[in-house]
Amino acid sequence: MRQAKTVSDENTSQAVTEKRILLLGTGAIAHRHAEHFSVLPGCRLVAACDIDAERARTFAQMHRIDYAFGDLDAAIAWGGFDAAVNATPDGVHRETTLKLIAAGKPVFCEKPLALNFADASGMTEAAEAAGLVNMVNLTYRNAHAVQTARRMVEAGAIGTIRHVSASYLQSWLTAGHWGDWRVDERWLWRLSSAHGSKGVLGDIGIHILDFLMFATGLDISSLGARMKTFDKAEGGAIGAYTLDVNDSVAMTVEMSNGALGVVHMTRFATGKLNDLDLTIHGDKGALRIWADHENSRLEACLGTDVETQTWRPVDCPPTPKNADRFVIALLSGENGEPDFRRAAKVQKLLDLCFVSHAEGRVLPVD
């Protein structure tokens, strides 16, 4: 592990216009963050940190990052960074983020913000009380189509929303496009509650619920959820991984304006790769959005096309990615979206889904 250098007066002056970033956690998702933040103007990756010090060193060398730490406390004591990207496992987001907030560091946290609403709410209150920039990487806000759809809804293009249909469909339990889940811990942990997983609901449900609410500009006022866990291995386990979390979830929702809708997600969507679909039906028109990790598209049924059910493509201008928004927030001092409060709101919905399933009833969202 490299020793921290003394920050020179030149570097201190540079940090006024170029924010120094610590990347906390050096697993698979961290490589994407490193690639993106390393080319963003207005910031510079200065350190990597991981409880596996050797992995942190290797990661730092791979991405040409000057410093590596095997302990967050040591990185904070060094202090040569202005903000942090938290790419640690879900179960330690709360502990690590609160340490960073206590040290006065803005945080860009991977989703989910926390494992439950109480923890997410506490993190939100801590960041806001400290007056720090705080954001969560709900990645599908990066989709050009959902940003354009939101602007069209706000402009009244489809009138009053009356019905919505949303889904997030993956198939890595039935196809090998992302590798063999039976032997790869990257996927096995997502099937085991003992390893911190909340199932498909916690993994991708957070995305589709945010996708739905952001595009419509509406909150969810009540929900009902059904979950299913399928047998996937003899004895329900593979090695140390007990395969006990939900694989498929189906929800009914009522939006804050009274519109009804359905939301579903699964890892058993054979024939699908990684597809988010959202249709928004208004009393004057409709929008249909599709997105995956890299691309998105938008279609609209408007005006006289409503009479013939004709859908036409809509041009969607590029939108900044969440990482870009975080750097803009750091430089401007004005918090970006999606923030901790938004992630906590979605986490509350996820928590209620478990209660709804267990009690077999529709629940209001207070």
pLDDT of residue 14: 43
CB 1 within 8 A of CB 53: yes
DSSP structure class, residue 29: H
221 phi and psi, to 5 degrees?
Answer: -100, -25
Phi-psi region of 131 (alpha: psi -120 to 50; beta: other; left: phi over 0): left
pLDDT of residue 11: 41
pTM to 2 decimal places: 0.92
pLDDT of residue 186: 87
pLDDT of residue 147: 98
pLDDT of residue 261: 98
CB within 8 Å of 262: residues ≥ 6 apart: 164, 165, 166, 250, 251, 252, 253
C-alpha dihedral, 297 to 86 to 59 to 200, nearest 10°? -50
CB 285 within 8 A of CB 301: yes
Instruction: Tell me the domains of the chain and their CATH numbers.
Output: 9-138 (3.40.50.720), 140-320+338-364 (3.30.360.10)
CB 231 within 8 A of CB 137: no
DSSP 318-363: ----HHHHHHHHHHHSS--SS-HHHHHHHHHHHHHHHHHHHHTS-E
Tell me the residue type at 347: Q
pLDDT of residue 4: 37
Chunked mean pLDDT (size 10), the chain, 366 residues:
38 62 95 95 97 97 97 98 96 96 98 96 98 97 97 98 98 95 93 93 96 98 98 96 98 98 98 98 98 96 98 96 96 96 98 98 96
